[in-house]
Structure 1
């Protein structure tokens, strides 16, 4: 019976690339902090699988420089934080335990981060940018990029300035400033902050449990704002929700 690659890599005491690729995601990147606090930039990995993963010998072959030491493991659901400056990041986020320190720095304009094994065989790769449709709030405004399975880009801006290294941010809800002004008749003016490049839809229903109908779609301005006058309908009581993104 031939030896499978999985068994071959394990026998050599090297991380299994296929297992890591299936279970690990680059969960959060803080790549362009305020120039005065650039030392708090970081990359966070997340084991989304159900088994502990051996990261021994894996390394970042592009972007930053970091090698996982022998015996490095990542338990199911756990996070692995590597920082540009361990002391600075831990001081900024009390209680955080930084797992490693990388060399180099994350490019402010964007780049490709590649986690590799062996002689450089890619395990996983992520290309980020400071341009829409990726969240532009992560570009020098203090927010990080956070993995988000709902967003069409796969990432959103963190809810908090500085990000959440070492903490599961899956349940974070980014704050949104929303204003509704009554106009004449059944019309209102809706104003809110949004993510550039993301399409938002206003839905309505006369009763919870019934079908939601689409009232309007919004695409943010270049400054990340939406202002629109819409008709809400003549019903005495209605329920509304603003959702994103719109899937084709």
Structure 2
């Protein structure tokens, strides 16, 4: 990880009247094979090697070779580092650990008298003062600053790898730095570094959350800020490595998988990979400085006042104004740029183009996707159905291709006219208006008439989000699961959902005069979404009780003659019947 240009003098903060400088005494980021380091193999044929991955150089040691594990003890030792003039020297480095078990260890030792012979030198083990990875991965973890103030003159730092022949793991190290910190870190101006963008549930079109989650931080001050040793906690764990200086009006990104994010977005200002993952339902992200002082705190959510579009539908969460209170969900937006804007300025709404609902919905594409998907449009419609977190609206005349779903918590009622700018999205296959702006709502009391179609026509793209009505249907399955049931008018079955507020409980065999509702598309199926009780008109024309065979079919029964009578009773009505007595004429 190369966070920024190499640091010789971190900052001169004249505006604060404080002179603060970190002087680099020794540094090696292993861009090339180290020339002056000493490698000593005590046990085993394997040794420390220089590796490069994704343009990043590092040193690697593993006792695993050719399909077998071999016992090893291998040392990697710095050249002499002179601390004679250092007032407050500190050591830091990064390590990654994969495979193996607790018996594959990496120890950090210091000597003041190493002369090429590790056996005769005196070594002090400082392993316990460093931070190491807590799980197996190729993600580098910063050690934190290790105090070297008790040493003077020349010192040597050794990375000592040990593994058994039963289970040899891999250790990698990078960005070894010894600096002289002259004085205390200057205070950070209030609201200097803000949590500016959160991608907690990237869409499936990008890839798995384990590769594409990220957090973005923005320097909202006029000065560079040294973020070395700063931490992200609670939601995820991350420590900014040494040399993490964020310039004014600049962005730093921390990702679940830094390499994947860098490759996908083509960015370089990624500080590293965090441990853990961002909760898709929401949680708290805390940013603290190197002294443990909290610098920012955001508790995001996947609903309520927070933009729901950021929950797996394409956009990220973006802070609208970095000077605003980012604890307030009203100051966040779903990004107008698909998949977010890590490491770059947050998006703003593009100019909306006037489009009717028909122009947004009509498509000849077999996928059913809108030709306006991803575009910003200005449109309007009459609200005809309102559900939790979304509503449906239609062009006044209704009909095929003239209804659309709107994902928003704005307060609307049926028969309202809604005019807005919106981004056209495909939410799990349903064309949906998202990220609304410039919204006006007017009570016009226009009632949309449903399009009368057959049950066999419900599952067609032209009726997606359209108010429809099917007539003379029979309940063919009263429980498809998840509150859905099935009806048929002899043209083919269709599903009915229970998102609306109706009291009717379907029973297989029930006959309904009509079912009215929005054609919803979710979980791979088209379905009717009734709004309330008057969308379900029950059939009352048939007798409640049918008896077979008809009694007149038996004819005359002579005196003194016996006969058996088998009757079948069927309740074809819409409520339970109680039969108390049967009287034969």
**Same fold by TM (over 0.5)?**
yes
Paired residues, what number?
202
Distance 1:48 1:89, change over 3 A: same
Partner in structure 2 of residue 144 of structure 1: 316
Partner in structure 2 of residue 67 of structure 1: 239
1:31 aligned to 2:200? yes
Partner in structure 2 of residue 159 of structure 1: 336
Distance 1:60 1:228, change over 3 A: closer
Question: Aligned runs of 1:74-223 on 2, under 5 Å?
Answer: 74-118=246-290, 120-149=292-321, 153-169=330-346, 171-173=348-350, 176-180=376-380, 193=406, 195-196=408-409
Query: Residue 230 of structure 1: CA displacement?
Result: 6.0
- Matches of 1:195 and 1:175, distance apart in 2: 17
- Matches of 1:59 and 1:179, distance apart in 2: 45
Contact 1:14–1:57 (Cα < 8 Å) also in 2: no
User: Aligned with 1:131: secondary structure?
Assistant: coil
Query: Residue 61 of structure 1: CA displacement?
Result: 2.4
Query: Residue 194 of structure 1: CA displacement?
Result: 5.9
Distance 1:12 1:131, change over 3 A: farther
**Normalized against structure 1, the TM-score is what?**
0.66
**Normalized against structure 2, the TM-score is what?**
0.30
Query: Residue 109 of structure 1: CA displacement?
Result: 0.7
Distance 1:183 1:118, change over 3 A: closer
- Matches of 1:123 and 1:9, distance apart in 2: 20
User: Aligned with 2:309: secondary structure?
Assistant: helix
Residue by residue over 1:56-114, the C-alpha shift from the partner in whole angstroms, topping out at 9 and shown as x without a partner, is 22101221111112321111111001111112112221244422211111111100100
Distance 1:199 1:99, change over 3 A: farther
RMSD: 3.9
Unaligned runs of 5+ in 2: 1-16, 22-181, 351-373, 382-394, 398-403, 421-431, 445-585
Distance 1:148 1:34, change over 3 A: same
Unaligned runs of 5+ in 1: 1-5, 185-190, 201-214, 232-248
1:40 aligned to 2:209? no
- Matches of 2:267 and 2:229, distance apart in 1: 28
Contact 1:53–1:73 (Cα < 8 Å) also in 2: yes
Query: When you count helix as a share of all residues, which structure comes out higher?
Result: 1
Distance 1:7 1:229, change over 3 A: closer
Contact 1:137–1:157 (Cα < 8 Å) also in 2: yes
- Matches of 1:43 and 1:57, distance apart in 2: 17
Query: When you count strand as a share of all residues, which structure comes out higher?
Result: 2
Pair member with larger Rg: 2
User: Aligned with 2:270: secondary structure?
Assistant: coil
